[in-house]
Amino acid sequence: MRLLYTGLLYLLLPLALLRLYWRGRRDAGHRQRWRERLGFVPTLSPGGLWVHAVSVGETRAALPLIRALLDRYPDRPLLVTTTTLTGSRQVREALGERVQHVYAPYDLPGATRRFLRRVRPSLAVIMETELWPNLLRQCVTAGIPMLLANARLSERSARGYGRIRGLTAAMLRDVTLIAAQADADAARFRALGAPRVEVTGNLKYDLALPTDLPERGRQLRWDWLGDKRPVWIAASTHAGEDDTILDALARLRVRWPTLLLLLVPRHPERFDSVAVLCRQRGFSVIRRSERNACMPDTAVFLGDSMGELLLLYAAADLAFVGGSLVATGGHNVLEPALLGLPVLFGPHMFNFSEAGERLLAAEAAWQVADADELAAAVDRLLADPELRRTAGQNGQAVVERHRGALTALLGSIEMLLEMPPCHPAPGDKAD
């Protein structure tokens, strides 16, 4: 099964490189450092720590852990890898030169072997559910322990992995320890053959906000948005959601004519098309990148910058979190909750089901299915400041109550660093 998988990847490699070139026509960053994806990375000092986070969401979730590792192991080099360009930019913006960054290699035996020879980490910390058979096997062969941190596995993903049960079981045996977010995630990993699983909690609850963030949010609102007008944010939206959100905005502005929508698409390549869509729908739009203040008739403030989502949350009265009106699985609802905002999201929350359910149970969030329900929920919250305040306090309490994953993960990392080198499991032939 692994040979078949690897052969397919080699066949797809030219298409992957062509895709980087094609996306580079819009953003040259996609073409830069492409050799790193084949394992041609700078040679680093041995014995460092390696944290892999796929994109922006995983990187932001990993920040408390990365900062704690920098403080706890100041003498160990710390490498952070990402898969996406946006993830790379998030690393640089949040951590600067405190860590080293390269792109993770494609999951080819030669690329992963080359990458590990040059990086030579003492521990690999892989965020959430990044399961790559060849990379995991090369780590075992090199004697590098692996922690799958903040691991989650939805029912949908578990069914997919179950269709390739042999390959999945071999991958999970290669992982030294899986630190699952919740009991349900742990049970699904075990059902697929993972031998070493513990529940440490969701690292996203351990997010630490900058102390000046609320004040900066108020300042943004005063200087750029219009302090006296109601403001709601639709964050991390995907294709297929923006029309629904704009439908809701049209309904809401009948009753709230000064209402401002902060619209933040998830992916930068959609910024231009979403701006065009807003104007086609008859809304006056200001883009964050234009650095112009909103006018009284501005209906949409398009968040087309990177790394400012928390700031935009801090400037809003309530939040809708996208990726949930379409079958993407939702995005992090804990960030706006920690900022004291009432939270709205759609029916597709399988990637954040536990967090969503906790917020709903605490009356800190509302689930909506379409433009009518979204408009009705926003209208109710705008009309009732006390409801907004109570919901925001409830959400903050949920986040505070479930902190602790960071401490548990640091304990697991300390234990793994003290382990003797790992070796391939009996009967598993290394590539």
Query: Which sequence positions are flagged as catalytic?
Result: 58
Q: Would you state the pLDDT for residue 427?
A: 42
Give burial (CB, 10 Å; 0-12/13-18/19+) of 18. Answer: exposed
Q: How far apart are CA 187 and CA 180, in angstroms?
A: 9
Structure tokens belonging to residue 384 = 């009732």
Cβ distance 321 to 336 under 8 Å?
A: yes
Q: Would you state the pLDDT for residue 29?
A: 81
Q: Do residue 37 and residue 127 come from a single domain?
A: yes
Q: Do residue 308 and residue 168 come from a single domain?
A: no
* 230 Cβ contact partners less than 8 Å away, ≥ 6 residues apart: 256, 258, 259, 260, 317, 382
Structure tokens belonging to residue 23 = 């996306």
Residue 2 placed within a domain: no
Q: Do residue 191 and residue 259 come from a single domain?
A: no
Q: Tens place of pLDDT for every residue, the chain, 431 residues?
A: 888 999 999 999 999 999 888 888 877 888 889 999 999 999 999 999 999 998 888 898 899 999 999 999 999 999 999 999 888 988 998 899 999 999 999 999 999 999 999 999 999 999 998 889 999 999 999 999 999 999 999 898 999 999 999 999 999 999 999 999 999 999 999 999 999 999 999 999 998 889 999 999 999 999 999 888 999 999 999 999 999 999 999 999 999 999 999 999 999 889 999 999 999 999 999 999 999 999 999 999 999 998 899 999 999 999 999 999 999 999 999 999 999 999 999 999 998 999 999 999 999 999 999 999 999 999 999 999 999 999 999 999 999 999 999 999 999 999 999 987 655 444 444 33
**Parallel/antiparallel/unpaired status of strands 177-180 and 197-199:** parallel
Q: Would you state the pLDDT for residue 163?
A: 92
Q: Would you state the pLDDT for residue 208?
A: 86
Residue 115 placed within a domain: yes
Structure tokens belonging to residue 19 = 């895709």
Helix (H, G, I), strand (E, B) or coil at 46: coil
Give burial (CB, 10 Å; 0-12/13-18/19+) of 203. Answer: buried
Number of domains in the chain: 2
Q: Do residue 132 and residue 219 come from a single domain?
A: no
Strand partners, 149: 127
Q: Do residue 254 and residue 368 come from a single domain?
A: yes
Q: How far apart are CA 78 and CA 294, in angstroms?
A: 42
* 87 Cβ contact partners less than 8 Å away, ≥ 6 residues apart: 53, 54, 55, 56, 58, 59
Q: How far apart are CA 267 and CA 246, in angstroms?
A: 18
Strand partners, 209: none
Region for 106 from its dihedrals, namely left if φ exceeds 0, alpha if ψ lies in -120 to 50, beta otherwise: beta
Give burial (CB, 10 Å; 0-12/13-18/19+) of 297. Answer: exposed
For residue 53, what are the domain limits? 31-201+405-417
Give burial (CB, 10 Å; 0-12/13-18/19+) of 76. Answer: middle
Residue 16 placed within a domain: no
Residue 83 placed within a domain: yes
Q: Which residue has the tokens 């596995």?
A: 153
- Report the 10 Å Cβ neighbour count for 74: 8
Residue 342 placed within a domain: yes
Q: Do residue 167 and residue 248 come from a single domain?
A: no
Residue 102 placed within a domain: yes
Give the CATH number for residue 410.
3.40.50.11720
Q: Do residue 376 and residue 409 come from a single domain?
A: no
Alpha helices in 300-384 (DSSP H): 309-314, 334-338, 353-361, 371-383
Kindly compute the dihedral angle of the four CA atoms of residues 53, 59, 64, 69, in this order, to the nearest 10 degrees: 40
Q: Do residue 396 and residue 410 come from a single domain?
A: no
* 344 Cβ contact partners less than 8 Å away, ≥ 6 residues apart: 318, 319, 320, 321, 365, 366, 367, 368, 374, 377, 378
Going edge to edge, which strands form the sheet with 48-52?
A: 100-103, 78-82, 48-52, 121-127, 146-151, 177-180, 197-199
Give the CATH number for residue 234.
3.40.50.2000
Q: Do residue 274 and residue 341 come from a single domain?
A: yes
Q: How far apart are CA 120 and CA 47, in angstroms?
A: 6
Residue 14 placed within a domain: no
The conformation of residue 76, written as its DSSP 8-state character, comes to: S
Residue 274 placed within a domain: yes
Sign of the CA dihedral with 352 first, then 353, 354, and 358 last: positive
Q: Do residue 255 and residue 311 come from a single domain?
A: yes
Q: How far apart are CA 252 and CA 242, in angstroms?
A: 15
Q: Do residue 75 and residue 139 come from a single domain?
A: yes
Cβ distance 30 to 85 under 8 Å?
A: yes
Q: Do residue 397 and residue 409 come from a single domain?
A: no
Structure tokens belonging to residue 55 = 């994109």
Q: Would you state the pLDDT for residue 57?
A: 84
* 173 Cβ contact partners less than 8 Å away, ≥ 6 residues apart: 193, 194, 195, 425, 428
- Report the 10 Å Cβ neighbour count for 12: 12
Structure tokens belonging to residue 224 = 């750029």
